[in-house]
Amino acid sequence: MPEIRLTVLDADHQKREMSCEPGQTLAQGLFLSGYWKTPVLCSGVGLCGRCRLRFLSPAPAPDSADEALFSVEELHDGWRLGCRHQVREGQEVFLPCHAAASAAPQELTPDAKAVRLAVDFGTSSVSWQALDGERSVAQGTDPNPQLGAGSDVMSRLAYAADPDHARQLQKLAVSYLQQVVAGLGAPVEEIAVAANPAMTLILLGKESAGLRAAPYRLSYRGGQVEILEALPPVYVLPQLAPFVGGDLSAGLLELLERNTRPQFPFLLSDMGTNGEFVLAVSPERFLVTSVPLGPALEGAGLSCGNAAGPGAVVHFEVQPAGLVAQCLGGGMPSRKAGMTGTGYISLLALLRQLGVLAEDGRFEQGNTPLAKRVSRSLGTQYGEPCLHLPGGLVLLARDVEEILKIKAAFHVALDALCEAAGIRLTDLAAVYLAGALGENVSCLALEQLGFLPEGSGRLVQSVGNTSLAGAARVLYDKTAREKVESFSKKTQEIVLAGDRDFSTRFMARMRFSQSEAV
């Protein structure tokens, strides 16, 4: 199928010709080209406004999302949302953003000696750390360059079903790593990559058909060194199950090898675009499972969602005047900086406490004077109920539903693991939260939303990015690889995909409480 050519002018007044595939939206084509670094954080449903662009050629007719975001004058001037319009031959567009920057934000000193590079290659974002022995000498985090092909694992796999698309995604991933290595300005001896099975297969250019349809199967186990174009040798962390990958095995390794060793039994939950769980019953028995969560916890797919960065809202509190947002690094909330996934959890927990949010996720007026003051901000936007927030932010009914789905999936996974182990949640010595849910999250908020039983917040410990820490460990600890490669013999997968009771259990847990829906 012939490619479509269009012309792009960016804020740096750089003009270039681009080729896109028919059927792609402008947002997809620009992002997959590597030209547009800003991801579409609402997953292309026309809410976040991050893909705004201006047509220099005749503009297509605006749709409802365009009309909701732009003024009449802006629409007349050709402003549209790139996620709502497909590429057309001969289009000319202006991007109000700068060309994509290099992946590496810092360079080592010219005389720096050789380093090793640890990488957590997530579905939504990629984090890396350059190491001199155990010492971190540089680090960074960027959006996954493949995001234009889909914001979740299954949409990425569907896109990669076409061999040409699979090669395109691999090239984006490898090019990203090449940019990081080149940007360090020092020799890189070796790379260690921790990633879920889908991202691992795409990075290595291996067939991923076994992950696209049930019964799912794992065709590649990792735990070995791979060679990729123009890169140092790459050690791939072991994969434990079809959707439980090197990110979780790295995280488990990191927990078990820290100076303060965990007591058994414990749960490690890595909650990102895909929820991966391991219930470590004993040093010799690990139960694992996974559930799709979508990108909401990482700030994508929500109307005002954003990754954790300067100015993003991470917490809410209520004062006599109403809701007050706390931003990362201080400052005032804004639509541009948005809210993180943990910011949403904090907000929903507060609304539940006030009585402005019902167990089933519906907005309510509340009974106390303070609740009534907050509920005055209830309204309608995009044709659905919403709550207007400080700084032009808004909480839509669909945002609430996305978080409710995550809560339900979390519960189903937790119930299945505890049932298989023959224990109760309260029997656990600890619940370790890694990934997006482990950043700035309040244990009390998790209790208030029903993620955890009342009083069990004492078990919870946020452990940060254990995937990256574990990837780093296999680079400086000579015994770490043998240990992490032994996990697969101790691991039993609890399969939820295809479970005939999954939908029933999931719907029963679609409530902001510990109790099941009747």
Query: Which pLDDT value is given to residue 111?
Result: 56
Q: By the 8 A CB rule, do 75 and 67 touch?
A: yes
Task: Quote the pLDDT of residue 41.
Answer: 59
Give the span between the Cα atoms of 61 and 259, in whole angstroms: 61
Residue 268 near residue 251 (C-beta atoms within 8 A): yes
CA distance 474 to 492: 23
| Assigned token pair, 286 | 């690990």
Three-class SS state of 83: helix
How far apart CA 150 and CA 292 sit, in angstroms, is 14
pLDDT tens sequence across 234-276: 999 999 999 999 999 999 999 999 988 899 999 999 988 889 9
For each of the domains in the chain, give its residue range(s) and CATH number, in order of start.
4-94 (3.10.20.30), 115-236 (3.30.420.480), 254-292+423-509 (no CATH), 296-401 (no CATH)
DSSP β-ladder status, 125-132 and 135-143: antiparallel
Q: For residue 365, how many C-alpha atoms fall within 13 Å in the half-sphere facing its CB? A: 2
Q: What is the pLDDT of residues 445-494, one digit of tens each?
A: 989 999 888 888 888 998 989 999 999 999 999 999 999 999 999 999 99
DSSP letters, 84-114, are GSB--TT-EEE-SSPPPPPS------TT---
The number of angstroms, rounded, from the C-alpha of 221 to the middle of its chain's C-alpha atoms is 23
Name the residue with tokens 């996720």: 361
Q: Which pTM value belongs to this model?
A: 0.88
Q: How far apart are CA 244 and CA 435, in angstroms?
A: 14
Residue ranges of the chain with per-residue pLDDT less than 70? 1, 36-45, 98-112, 436, 438-440, 515-518
N-to-C CA span, the chain: 52
The pLDDT, as a whole number, for residue 102 is 44
